[in-house]
A and B are shown apart, each in its own frame.
Chain A
């Protein structure tokens, strides 16, 4: 037996067969092999987080030195701006109360009120062209579980970033919008806008573009036209901004295509928000859907604001970014774009 294992060729063939079987089994949806990474995540994630924190501290330290004068000047400007904003907040608060009254009276629903929004920080980025998913620091411990279906991921301005692929205890893998495996049904953001398909593309990825297909033959897309998620397919709620049309190619009149520049720049993004349908996270008691869970250590991205009554980001709640802040909890029925996470990706 020992002599058998001294044969390098045999060992290589056996190992290859074993690894190929492992790959094949792991690619089956719902395979128990996808849980193999869970124990790894318990050990590796804290170590990786240490590296991330060290990196952040070093970069903050150098920024503080290099940008000292600039920061001081900016600070003065910001103080003036705060005074103006405080006045606007007062005005806004009155408007909000009026809006709540009208909303109850007219049974208006916010587009994303049926979702809990979990804030997350990007932990790791791509390793090379093929190993190009990103990992964020929320997982099953935070109520994100990919076995219940995938979830939409947005940035602080509610622009589409990607979707959750797999979850571990403390982290999750996100498939970014530019990845060639990513597909989303979209529509032109206008009344009765055409429904199209936005897909990541290998050759356009490096230019930060996606390809738009299934464009109805009678439609001509213009550069600058905005595309939002259509809500078809159930994974992504309708109305999430994706990006704008960059170019339109009608050389094949039966199959016109276009390129789209997403609003989100994946390489610059540091924080993301995961949209979990209320039905999945409600465990007895219902949470206010406008709440955003910010994991410890995560920073609040630009555009996200604290709700009334919150004291600091560390209190774990903040208002939903992008303006979809209020609404009654649990009123999922009849809402436009209410997703069924068991359905497909489009």
Chain B
């Protein structure tokens, strides 16, 4: 990758990350589908990892995670019943999301663009399921659990509508990454995947 390409990559990633994060937290009421806000941050990290490899996935995941912590970082209740604003949970979760998106079904999916939607569905399912499990365990252990959502609610009112909302957010982001960048023609040239360069020619919508 020459200097020009590197600069283009950094600038475009900076613009995407800033826009995606700011749009999600500023216009969350506009981005609502079936009572759930489209998780642009999660979708973007998944697509960056899936399409452009582990390095991009992890770096984008860490930056987006930092933004998530900054804008709306979680508050947990400690054992003394005092709420504490915690930093780093977004960093950790999005670091894993970026990594997972880059390795999950890598050989089977071969980073094909239209299968990006499937990757978003899979990662959303994992993220929101784990989120509910961790939240339930944490609230129970810290003694702050009064009641928790029913399984039916978690499945039909939380996870499934959220996945549907995320699919809707995936489509424009896929087009953006394919046709605008950060890499020319939507293909990262130096990606080492264990299969031939010719194979990547079918990375098209």
Give the B-binding residues of A (Cβ under 8 A): 8, 12, 15-16, 19-20, 22-23, 26-27, 29, 33-34, 36-37, 40-41, 44, 47-48, 51-52, 55, 123-135, 165-166, 173, 175, 179-183, 199, 201-204, 206, 211, 213, 257, 267, 344-345
Contacts and interface: CB of A to CB of B under 8 A. Distances in A.
Interface string B104-117: 00000000000000
8 contacts: A48-B25, A124-B72, A128-B162, A130-B74, A131-B71, A202-B147, A206-B35, A345-B81
B91 A19 contact: yes
B92 interface: yes
A166 B26 contact: no
Nearest to A179: B75
Can you list the 6 inter-chain pairs with the closest CB atoms, starting with the nearest? A124-B25, A181-B83, A23-B88, A26-B87, A51-B22, A22-B88
Interface SS, A side: mixed
Contact of A127 (B68, B77, B92, B99): B68
Interface residues of B, number: 57
A325 B70 CA distance: 35
Interface string B45-71: 000000000100000000000111111
Nearest to A51: B22
B131 to A, nearest CB: 6
Given A126-B72, A131-B68, 10 more contacts: A20-B88, A44-B67, A128-B39, A129-B135, A133-B75, A165-B85, A183-B83, A199-B146, A203-B149, A257-B146
Contacts of A36: 87
Nearest to B127: A128
Please indicate which of the listed interface residues A44, A130, A183, A203 has the most CB atoms of chain B within 10 Å of its own CB.
A130
Contact of A202 (B25, B84, B99, B148): B148
A173 B158 contact: no
B27 A55 contact: yes
B41 interface: yes
Contacts of B157: 206
Contacts of B182: none
Contacts of A47: 18, 22
B143 interface: no
Interface string B76-104: 11100111111111111001000100000
B70 A40 contact: yes
A132 B28 contact: no
A180 B139 contact: yes
B43 to A, nearest CB: 12
B162 to A, nearest CB: 8
A23 B87 contact: yes
Contact of A48 (B26, B75, B86, B158): B26
B85 to A, nearest CB: 5
B204 interface: no
B73 interface: yes
Given A127-B28, A131-B68, A29 B73 contact: no
A133 B131 contact: no
A203 B151 CA distance: 11
Given A126-B28, A130-B131, A203-B147, A37 B87 contact: yes
